[in-house]
Amino acid sequence: MILTAILLIVSLAIILVAAELFTNAVEWLGHKLNLNEGVVGSILAAVGTAMPETMIPVVAILYTGGEHGHEVGVGAILGAPFMLATLAMFITGLAVVGFARGGRRTTELRVNSKVLGRDIRFFLIGYLLAIVAAFVPIYAFKVAIAIVVVGLYVYYVYKHATDSEEAPMTYEDMEGMSPLEAAEELAGQPEHLAPLHFQRWKSTPRFWVVCAQLVVSLAIMLVGAYMFVEQVTAVALAIGIPALILSLLIAPVATELPEKMNSVLWVRQGKDTLALGNLTGAMVFQSCIPAAFGMVFGEWAITAESTSAFVSAGIAILAAAVIFGSLNFGGRKLTANALLTGGVFYVAYVVYLLVAGGAHA
């Protein structure tokens, strides 16, 4: 157990280093390709850091197989959006509160409501379609829904990619702002990007070096995430935690660490749209691509064994609607308090599993 604890700490450190390298590289990649912040945060960062948790259901369903493999696979597919909509939002909210006592001095997030609002709408549509497919015992219907949600994600990428880039902040735009608020706005401008770690001596790094850092950071991230999963899994199995809880709660916590750490780093830098888009973009990806895979290759159905997994999907939808409802009904403002409510939904689901009998489903 001592060795396991040491390896857990080492794996967490690896993920933290990888997250720093990744966020730094993906910002420069977006700048080099003239991509808007929606593409950088909601697509590049989100899909890149979603790779660890996406591989778990693929391996579980295609290579492990059997009842256990399909149970773990479906649980992992549904567990990822649940973690992002609850625990990841809660951790990001804590980061906002923590940094507000330092440089931020505010718990209100400066976000692009158009980008985040679109993410949540696509997530709700895609995930609701996936849940509907679980109620229909016709395989052809599930395949059709899978095709629809994949097409939905393609359209989502298109919408982000064709957004017009927002004009850079001007001195006129900063009139009436405090020096701190102006600094926060400027933090996302290209000329205020931190030097690329792989080429810190250059004010403008070479494109191939940016790509190299991005690839290396993803590789390190995968190693760290799977190392973390192995150690957490070893502890869970040793103390007899059921496979459902393992796939719904334990594994997603580990594999969602990249998104959490990237968002915390961006919150620290005042880049709130990137921080939240990293999470909401991953939610859209997880509700469409892995869910489509589960519909086609997994046992995607509401059964006594899978009820608890699909309850987590319902809670994820509810949490996302509550947290981001303020963008549409609260003057288009998002605060740390809204994000912190994700923790309430997470605890409620854990209570359901452990106390209300969900663990036996």
pLDDT in 10s for each residue of the chain, 361 residues: 677 778 777 877 887 788 778 778 877 887 787 776 667 766 776 776 666 666 667 766 776 555 556 666 777 788 889 999 999 999 999 988 888 776 666 788 888 888 888 899 999 999 999 999 999 989 999 999 999 999 999 999 888 878 764 444 433 344 444 544 444 444 444 445 678 888 888 878 888 998 998 899 888 877 776 777 677 667 666 766 666 666 677 767 766 666 677 788 888 877 888 888 888 988 999 999 999 998 998 788 887 777 888 899 999 999 999 988 877 554 567 888 889 999 999 999 988 887 765 444 4
Q: How far is CA 210 from CA 138, 166, 217, in A?
A: 47, 23, 11
Can you tell me the distance from the alpha carbon of 296 to that of 70, in angstroms, rounded to the nearest whole number? 12
Greatest alpha-carbon pair distance for the chain in Å reads 63
Q: How far is CA 265 from CA 47, 54, 147, 174, 314, in A?
A: 17, 23, 35, 24, 29
Tokens 């006592």, located at residue: 101
Can you tell me the distance from the alpha carbon of 80 to that of 88, in angstroms, rounded to the nearest whole number? 10
Q: How far is CA 139 from CA 131, 298, 317, 351, in A?
A: 14, 11, 24, 33
pTM of the predicted model as reported, rounded to 2 decimal places: 0.75
Burial of 152 (0-12, 13-18, 19+ CB in 10 A): middle
* Sequential DSSP letters for 217-251: HHHHHHHHHHHHHHHHHHHHHHTT--HHHIIIIIH
Task: Show the domains of the chain with their CATH numbers.
Answer: 2-360 (1.20.1420.30)
Can you tell me the distance from the alpha carbon of 141 to that of 150, in angstroms, rounded to the nearest whole number? 14
| DSSP code for 190 | G
Q: What are the structure tokens assigned to 207, written together?
A: 């494109």
